[in-house]
Chains A and B, each alone.
Chain A
Amino acid sequence: MSDSAPLMSVSEISVRFGGVSALADVDFCIAKGTVTALIGPNGAGKTTLLGAITGMVAAQHGRVALEGRDITDLPPHVRARLGVVRTFQNLEVFANMTVLENVMTGRHALAAYGILDGILRTPRFRAGERACREAALEKLEFVGLADKKDVLAGELPYGSQRLLEMARAVAAEPRLLLLDEPAAGLNTQETKALAGLISRVRDELGITVGLVEHDMDLVMGISDAVTVLNFGTVLASGPPARIQANPDVVAAYLGD
């Protein structure tokens, strides 16, 4: 699956929160076309690492590169426009918007018309808005929420909100999609469907996926590569089978 050219690479990233060292000199790569998992015990620094990659958490040290281009000093929305888009562990749907509006917001940077076009309802606005709507519907179709398009996002059940976050992220047509515990709170059946969906994101949409997840069946079932974080440092990294056999990893997970 992987052609091993790193789409995104993090080198020697360090993040501290006051006295707490959340990440210490972490190197992490995601190869193009893969699903690359990031696992580790609670508090290992997984979410913090996603924050550093997307620019939402300030790193004291280290670089982030996207296809060789240094993006360390770019703000989050610029990184998003370059193709680095994420979902959130604690759901961050736009609760007071409809499901469709949520996904259309995901395409914010792709809707090609200006403020004045919107106010004057120019043909450019109409064309842009129509295209945005159609693309958003397509993504809702993709995650299976099309029939809920006019429901307020806050009224969706938990599992559907997770899918909505995914649709919103995918709507931005990212190159790298970072999912933060997409299976948290889902039942086994929903998790199984999610596994299929993530594979389709990679295979059908051609989007590289970075997956933070605690569900080991999910991780080992769909990942092309796995990196293990523990106490803010990389414990191991490699193909899933090798990770599962790694005694350090087993110790880190069973040790507590």
Chain B
Amino acid sequence: MRPWYARNLAKAAFFATALFLAPFFLPNEYYINILILGGINALIALGLNLLLGYAGQISLGHAAFFGLAAYATAVATTRLGLPIPVGMGLGVSLSALVAWLIGMPTLRLRGHYLAMATLGFGIIVHIVMNETVEVTGGPSGFVGIPRLALLGFSFDSDRSYYYLVAAVLALAALFSLNLIDSRVGRALRAIHTSESAAQTAGVDIAGYKLFVFVLSAAFAGVAGVLYAHFLCFVAPSSFGFHFSVQLVVMVVLGGMASVWGAMAGAFFLTALPEALRGFEEVDILIYGAILVACVMYMPMGMAGAAAGVWRRIGRLRRGRVPGQGEGGHVG
């Protein structure tokens, strides 16, 4: 029997193994790109899930935090000639700092101020990316970002890059699981259900909201710098309002408040357009139809559906013992 506090470590190790093995099942080396982009999106979704799924706070500007970090490291490592690790550090810090500046005034207030502020912020960032052509390259994008090299190792092959993203993702998942299974996670979930009850339990709700908002922006920042040094090219179109909404859909589709669900939602939504490539003109229709079907048949998201299947299997194995408790939450 594993001690209770090591359970998440075991789950994350299992996840890391699965990520490690995934490339061996790919029919074609091209698909590794999709795995990498899926992993990067999953990283953002993990952070957004902490904010949205657990704490119940909506951000409609996460694409901007993602993009801000990507552009920051792009500029730092080319125009400013800074080393890549420094550029990445700057990128993540910038996303976190900007989140703090937005969250400070808005999260003290009750209501949907964060959604509105992040919505506006996302639009502004997108405009700035397009308009400041001398710095960002404007709508045609920023070229010539160096491919990632760390400690003398150059991640030139897509395989090596995938393993880096997989390692970061597994660590981020462990981080999230451990955070959730602690007083911090309970406080976040409490805020989601009842702010008054959370307060009377001694939870500093404004403080925790700010913390989790900045944390989720930092997750997006990490994803952003990994993205920039992978593609070596960034353009404003990747960081618009459309992508912010897609990120929210990933979390909701995954099944709010589930670490695994958020990541599953991210990989699914990243791979779906690729899978529909063959359908040329009707792909967007099929895409929409699949989303609608997901919402109809999995109201609790992928994590909820998986938990349902799991319970049914358990019930079959126990031989339908009536009146068994089925409590517990989805990790």
Contact = CB atoms under 8 A, between A and B. Distances in A.
Given A97-B186, A97-B189, A108-B183, A168 B201 contact: yes
B327 A155 contact: yes
Contact of A111 (B183, B197, B199, B205): B183
A118 interface: yes
Interface stretch (A34-42, A99-107, A192-200, A202-210): A99-107
Interface stretch (B31-39, B174-182, B260-268): B174-182
Interface residues of A, number: 45
Contacts of A66: none
Given A88-B197, A121-B6, A96 B189 contact: yes
A240 to B, nearest CB: 27
Contact of B175 (A85, A108, A119): A119
A1 interface: no
Contacts of A85: 200-201
Contacts of A72: none
A129 B189 CA distance: 17
A96 B329 CA distance: 8
A111 B200 CA distance: 15
Nearest to B178: A119
Contacts of A86: 200
Contacts of B178: 118-121
B202 interface: yes
B168 to A, nearest CB: 15
A132 B194 CA distance: 21
Nearest to A55: B199
B200 A76 contact: yes
B160 interface: no
Nearest to B197: A92
Given A76-B199, A80-B200, A119-B175, A125 B325 contact: no
A80 B6 contact: no
Contacts of A107: 201
A75 B178 CA distance: 29
Contacts of B17: none
B154 interface: no
Nearest to A76: B199
Interface string B192-210: 0110111111111100000
B75 interface: no
Given A121-B5, A169-B200, A94 B194 contact: yes
Q: Is the interface of A mostly helix, strand, loop or mixed?
A: helix
Contacts of B328: 98, 150, 152
A126 interface: yes
Interface residues of B, number: 34
B261 to A, nearest CB: 14
A109 interface: yes
A81 B202 contact: yes
A113 interface: yes
Contacts of A151: 325, 327
B184 interface: yes
A250 to B, nearest CB: 34
A54 interface: yes
B193 A108 contact: no
Nearest to A85: B200
B190 interface: yes
A156 B18 CA distance: 38
B203 A92 contact: no
Contacts of A118: 178-179, 181-185
Interface in A4-44: none
A120 B184 CA distance: 13
B199 A77 contact: yes
A113 B189 contact: no
A251 interface: no
A163 interface: no
18 contacts: A54-B199, A54-B200, A56-B196, A77-B198, A77-B204, A80-B200, A81-B202, A92-B193, A94-B189, A97-B186, A109-B203, A113-B182, A115-B179, A115-B182, A118-B178, A118-B182, A129-B5, A172-B201
Interface of B: 5-6, 8-9, 175, 178-179, 181-187, 189-190, 193-194, 196-205, 211, 257, 325, 327-329
Interface of A: 54, 56, 75-77, 80-81, 85-86, 88, 92-98, 101, 104-111, 113, 115, 117-121, 125-126, 128-129, 132, 150-152, 155, 168-169, 172
